[in-house]
Amino acid sequence: ETGVTQSPTHLIKTRGQQVTLRCSSQSGHNTVSWYQQALGQGPQFIFQYYREEENGRGNFPPRFSGLQFPNYSSELNVNALELDDSALYLCASSRWGSTSYEQYFGPGTRLTVT
C-alpha cells in the first residue's frame, strides 16, 4: 500500500510569486484535503477535493486554489505570495463514502516566502 506523498519537500519563494505544491493520495483513497500549519500552531483546513471538485473550503482567500486529477492526485496553487504564507503545507487523503473518516497525511512541503 502506497502512502501519501508530497513534493517538493522544501521551497523558497519571493513575495508576489506563485507556487504549486503536489500531492499523491494513498492507494484506494478518493479524497484529498490540504492544510496549512504555521509555526507553533495546529494545522488549519484550506480545502478538500472529491471527484475533481472542491468539496469544502476553510477561511482562506481565493488566491489559494487547487485541482484534483482523475488519478486522485492533487495540486495546491498559491498566487501573489505573502510573507505570512510561510508555513508547512500538509496534504491528507481519505476515502469518502466509507464508514471511516480517517485521514492520512503526507510528509508536508515547507514553504518559505522571503
Partner 1 sequence: GIQVEQSPPDLILQEGANSTLRCNFSDSVNNLQWFHQNPWGQLINLFYIPSGTKQNGRLSATTVATERYSLLYISSSQTTDSGVYFCAVFSGDYKLSFGAGTTVTVRA
The beta strands (E) that lie in the chain are given as: 5-7, 10-13, 19-24, 31-37, 44-50, 53-57, 64-68, 74-78, 87-94, 104-105, 109-113
Q: Which of 30, 60, 69, 110 binds partner 1 (CB under 8 A)?
A: 110
| Phi-psi category of residue 107: left, alpha or beta, with phi > 0 → left and psi -120 to 50 → alpha | alpha
Please tell me whether residue 53 binds partner 1 under the rule CB under 8 A.
no
Dist CA 74 CA 90 (whole Å): 12
* 84 vs 102, beta carbon nearer partner 1: 102
Q: Which of 90, 93, 95, 113 binds partner 1 (CB under 8 A)?
A: 90
Q: Which of 27, 41, 79, 114 binds partner 1 (CB under 8 A)?
A: 41
Q: Which of 19, 76, 78, 92 binds partner 1 (CB under 8 A)?
A: 92
Alpha carbon 93 to its chain's center: 10
Q: Which of 60, 64, 69, 105 binds partner 1 (CB under 8 A)?
A: 105
Binding site for partner 1 (CB under 8 A): 33, 35, 37, 41-45, 48, 55-56, 58, 88, 90, 92, 100-108, 110
